[in-house]
Amino acid sequence: MASQFIDVAKISIKAGDGGDGAVSFHREKYVAAGGPDGGDGGKGGNVVFLADPNLSTLMDFRYKRKYVAPKGENGGAANCSGKSAQDLVIRVPVGTVIKDQETGLVIADISGQEPVIVAKGGRGGWGNSHFATPTRQIPRFARPGLPGEKFDVQLELKLIADVGLIGFPNVGKSTLISVISAAKPKIANYHFTTLSPVLGVVRIDEEASFVAADIPGLIEGASDGIGLGHAFLRHVERCRMLLHLVDVSGCEGRDPKEDFEKINIELERFSPTMAKNPQIVLGNKCDIATPEQVEDFRKFIEDKGLMFIPISAATRQGLEDIPNIVYNMLKDLPPVRHFEADYVKPEPVIGDRSFTIEKDDESVYVIDAPWLARILDGCNINDYESLQYFQRQLGESGVIDKLVEMGVQEDDTIRIEEYEFDYVF
């Protein structure tokens, strides 16, 4: 059934945040004043994609849309660093392409056996032992862990096959692949019999074979999404060559020449590169076509510089030589297409202290500065030294100067995320 084959899915992924650094002081009998010994937080887990040959659809992603890797462990006392979190491994069918939802650019092509890190976990925060100085001997603050990367991605399954069988519905593709390979697609005499692609391994001998894909039927306008639309075209993008089946008998009242042209127009509209793939045209149902029909169509195809082979998938006429012809052509063609990543992650600006300030009403100033909020999270605002450290960050970054420029007055409210302060000169 069509609902059983899912080849596109949209999901959200987020790598784990880094663990927070610890605020701790050395405690030991007979030691009057131990120094700071807060350990660092552990690294957050990555989001990793892995190709699984046992999967054939993206069905699982229809029901679960959010994937979050675990957070790193917080730091501990005695300079004990938190444990780094395990990676979140997401298994997908071989041939899944991961794209950024917003731009449509390729992030990764999951076609090999190696796991691919798509979202990296955040680094753990520093414990208070990093902030001890000769003048600040009791730092009661630490850094929280950095957030993990997060993306909204689109998964697209693009079959990995050497040869794609294309043509209008009911021209005999399913019958052909069942004859030349071990695949057993459902076959019947009605349109759109094949509602999901079928892969078949065609063996030439013990050490020679290729993979053929029976692609769902195509209709005019598929490149615009009509009918099965891109559900068909997506799966011929990797094919190295095409076997184009045409019903030369015209038994359903269609013109084989028009059918041939329409299919190629749809391919050209969807992907000019794909339309240039080598084609062998198989004139099917020759057992019920007249010799004149076959020869007229042969001349039409050969005038285009393409190879034409008359066959009958039902009676197996002309099929015995096709595997060897295809295999010999494949030997001279480039390997199966791999989609190169063209998405570039925004580079984090090291030491970025950008901020914005908006005046919410007459006496409330809202500061948006993620870096500042992270510092505040690691501070003990009831501790004088911690608060001094935080205020120095406000001064050095230019936040206080900007507030003064905007006309801040004593006792006005300063809001940073969930924290609120009264401004004091």
Q: What is the mean pLDDT of residues 399-408?
A: 89
Most confident of 4-8, 91-95, 127-131, 160-164: 91-95
DSSP 317: B
Residue 208 has pLDDT above 60, yes or no: yes
Predicted pLDDT at 349: 52
Predicted pLDDT at 196: 60
Residue 274 has pLDDT above 90, yes or no: no
Residue 188 has pLDDT above 60, yes or no: no
pLDDT digits (tens, 9 = 90+) for 288-298: 999 999 999 99
Residue 3 has pLDDT above 80, yes or no: no
Residue 343 has pLDDT above 50, yes or no: yes
pLDDT band at 223 (very low <50, low <70, confident <90, very high): very low
Q: What is the mean pLDDT of residues 360-374?
A: 83
Among 243, 232, 92, 216, residue whose Cα is nearest residue 162: 243
Structural domains of the chain, with CATH: 2-157 (2.70.210.12), 163-330 (3.40.50.300), 356-422 (3.30.300.350)
Predicted pLDDT at 293: 93
> What percent of the chain lies above the pLDDT cut of 90?
36
The full DSSP string for 112-159 is SSS-EEEEPPPPPPPPGGGG--SS--S----PPPPPPPEEEEEEEE--
What is the largest distance, in Å, between two alpha-carbon atoms of the chain? 108
Residue 40 has pLDDT above 70, yes or no: yes
Predicted pLDDT at 333: 93
The residue ranking higher by pLDDT, 122 or 361, is 122
Count Cβ neighbours within 10 Å for each residue of 201-230 and write b for 16 or more, e otherwise.
ebeeeeeeebbbbbbbbbbeebbeeebbbe
Report CA torsion sign: 295, 306, 275, 238.
positive
Predicted pLDDT at 9: 93
Output phi, psi for 230, to 5 deg.
-65, -20
Q: What is the mean pLDDT of residues 233-253?
A: 85
Predicted pLDDT at 217: 53
**3-state class (DSSP) for residue 366:** strand
pLDDT band at 4 (very low <50, low <70, confident <90, very high): very low
First to last CA, the chain: 72
Residue 182 has pLDDT above 80, yes or no: no
Whole-prediction pTM: 0.73
Predicted pLDDT at 323: 92
pLDDT band at 6 (very low <50, low <70, confident <90, very high): low
Q: Rounded CA gap, 254 and 244, in Å?
A: 16
Q: Which range has the worst mean pLDDT, 24-33, 58-67, 190-199, 357-366?
A: 190-199
Predicted pLDDT at 348: 59
The residue ranking higher by pLDDT, 109 or 213, is 109
Q: Rounded CA gap, 262 and 256, in Å?
A: 10
CB 278 within 8 A of CB 329: yes
Q: What is the mean pLDDT of residues 385-401?
A: 83
Q: Which range has the worst mean pLDDT, 203-217, 233-247, 278-292?
A: 203-217
Predicted pLDDT at 5: 53
Residue 91 has pLDDT above 90, yes or no: yes
**Reading across the β-sheet that carries 241-247, which strands appear in turn?**
198-205, 208-214, 163-166, 241-247, 279-284, 307-310
Q: Rounded CA gap, 385 and 406, in Å?
A: 28
Predicted pLDDT at 191: 43
Among 197, 185, 204, 210, residue whose Cα is nearest residue 313: 185
Q: What is the mean pLDDT of residues 43-53?
A: 96
Predicted pLDDT at 74: 94
